[in-house]
Amino acid sequence: MMNSRIPSPPTKLFDAVSIVVHEHARRLARHHDVTVFLGQEKGTPRSERHEGVHYLRMPLLADRAINRLKVLDRFKRPDRPFRTTAAYYAPFAMRVARVLAKERFDVVHLHSVVNFLPRLRRALPEARLVAHIHDHSMRDFDGPSAEARLRRADLVLACSEHVIDKVRHRFPVLAG
């Protein structure tokens, strides 16, 4: 009897973004060195390879504690949620930036969390930063803050023409 088990990725594919990240990574890994940074869940290894992709996990304990501040969204500026602040996943972003700088990555493809762009640009001044917008979350950022973050990217992509049109409309200076 032949084993016909389909190899499953070493990460949970629980939403559209995780599926896109997985598919991009495994396809790029055919011809490039690819590392995907993830939060480390209990019982998962810090580092592993699958289909040519290096999965590197970072602890999230501090992030989970800090992210409890999102409860303030109900009381203070609900139009600008906590996830739009520099504090959102800040320890994770700092750890990733340190690894990226040490290893000298050429391209960083960031999915949805544009808050990380300033920190990543400081860590990797010569790298190409790609911001990939998957939803309408950019509408939650105040204009000047979001524009300043997006200016750190070398390329801004979106999952659809509809989403990128919304970004272009909101930030006409960055439309190109």
> Is 92:116 a contact under the CB 8 Å cutoff?
no
End-to-end Cα spacing for the chain: 56
> Is 69:82 a contact under the CB 8 Å cutoff?
yes
Decide if pLDDT at 4 tops 50.
Answer: no
Q: What is the pLDDT of residue 100?
A: 93
H or E segment at 68? none
Token readout for 91 is 């320890």
User: Residue 123's CB: how many other CB atoms inside 10 A?
Assistant: 20
Q: What is the pLDDT of residue 14?
A: 60
Q: What is the pLDDT of residue 10?
A: 63
Say whether 50 sits in a helix, a strand or coil. Answer: strand
d(CA 82, CA 145): 13
Give pLDDT tens digits for 110-163.
888 888 899 999 999 999 999 998 877 777 777 788 888 889 999 988 888 888
Query: What is the phi/psi pair of residue 90, to 5°?
Result: -60, -45
Give pLDDT tens digits for 70-99.
777 777 665 677 777 888 889 999 999 999
Residue with tokens 């409890």: 68
Q: What is the pLDDT of residue 74?
A: 72
Q: What is the pLDDT of residue 118?
A: 92
